[in-house]
Structure 1
Amino acid sequence: MSNRMLLKGLRKKNKSINQINVTPFVDVMLVLLIVFMITAPLLTVGVSVDLPKTKAAQLNQKGDPIVVSIKKTGDLYLQERVIDTVQLLPRLKAISAGNKNLRIYVRGDKDVPYGIVLETIAKIKSSGFKKVALVAKLKES
């Protein structure tokens, strides 16, 4: 046998595979997808408020709104922080940076007197904000 034949036989046996095995990568990505799908809804609710139920349709708008929450005890929250009613308007103006078209959602516990919720909305609207809305849960039929 010639040396060339021996070298060709060795080259075929030691030839490396030029393909990447993507199966472990896909497995890891699927696990991460499931983890994020489970944890994402848990991160959205900051202050637990027992919202009243309604049959009105949901608003579909882009961007994150500012959320003002009123708990059963009467505590006022801006996003997830407790604030005094006196601090509400200055903080909203600071957050909005002069943008009066910023969406502000008011979440009031169903046991909070209606007048307090309306008073809060009136204060926000009187300071020049145009897009102020109430938040409620959809009623199950």
Structure 2
Amino acid sequence: MAMNLAPGNGRRNRGRAPMSEINVTPFVDVMLVLLIIFMITAPLLVTGVPVDLPESRANALDQDQEPVQISIDQEGRIYLDDEEMSRNALATRLNEIAASQTVDDPRQIMLRGDKTLDYGLIMGVMGELNRAGLNRVSLVTTGSSE
């Protein structure tokens, strides 16, 4: 007389061992699809004013806080962080920014000007920055290939 001493002698467990592995293939497939989606959409998320910057061999600056972006496009339109404004409105906003900065941590200003612009227009914006008391101004360029 033979006895089956395996646990769970009922009808439901007959012929099947409990599964102790996790199939990670579907998880990897989903992660690869998400990676491809993010790789395609990330370059499209960059917004800003289209400016053809001049080239320079200068090194990039280290920054602690988000700088204020001032851009001047090819037609001479002035943008403060993607918002187009007149020169008078720019002077008002720069005074507000200067009033909100601290002595220990002055705001960094990034000035982006199209390389085909008149030098006087860029110097006029720099004069407004100086008049407002914002003296940490960086001129943004593209990196040189040399």
Which TM-score band (shorter chain)? 0.7 to 0.9
Runs of 4+ in 1 over 6 A off after TM superposition: none
**CA RMSD between the two structures:** 2.8
Matches within 5 A, 1:21-40: 21-40=23-42
Q: CA deviation at 1:16?
A: 3.3
State the partner residue of 2:82.
80
Q: Which has the higher helix share?
A: 1
SS in 2 for 1:115: helix
* Identity percentage of aligned residues: 39
In structure 1, C-alpha distance between the alignment counterparts of 2:144 and 2:32, rounded to whole Å = 34
Structure of higher CA gyration radius: 2
- What residue identity is the alignment partner of 1:77? Y
In structure 1, C-alpha distance between the alignment counterparts of 2:84 and 2:20, rounded to whole Å = 59
Structure 1: state its 5+ residue gaps: none
Is 1:51 equivalent to 2:53 in the alignment?
yes
Is 1:125 equivalent to 2:114 in the alignment?
no
SS in 2 for 1:58: coil
TM-score normalized with structure 1 length: 0.79
SS in 2 for 1:7: coil
In structure 1, C-alpha distance between the alignment counterparts of 2:72 and 2:25, rounded to whole Å = 50
Q: Number of paired residues? A: 141
SS in 1 for 2:93: helix
SS in 2 for 1:13: coil
In structure 2, C-alpha distance between the alignment counterparts of 1:131 and 1:37, rounded to whole Å = 35
- Cα distance change on mapping 1:19 and 1:89 into 2, 3 Å: farther
- What residue identity is the alignment partner of 1:70? I
Contact 2:98–2:134 (8 Å) recurs in 1: no
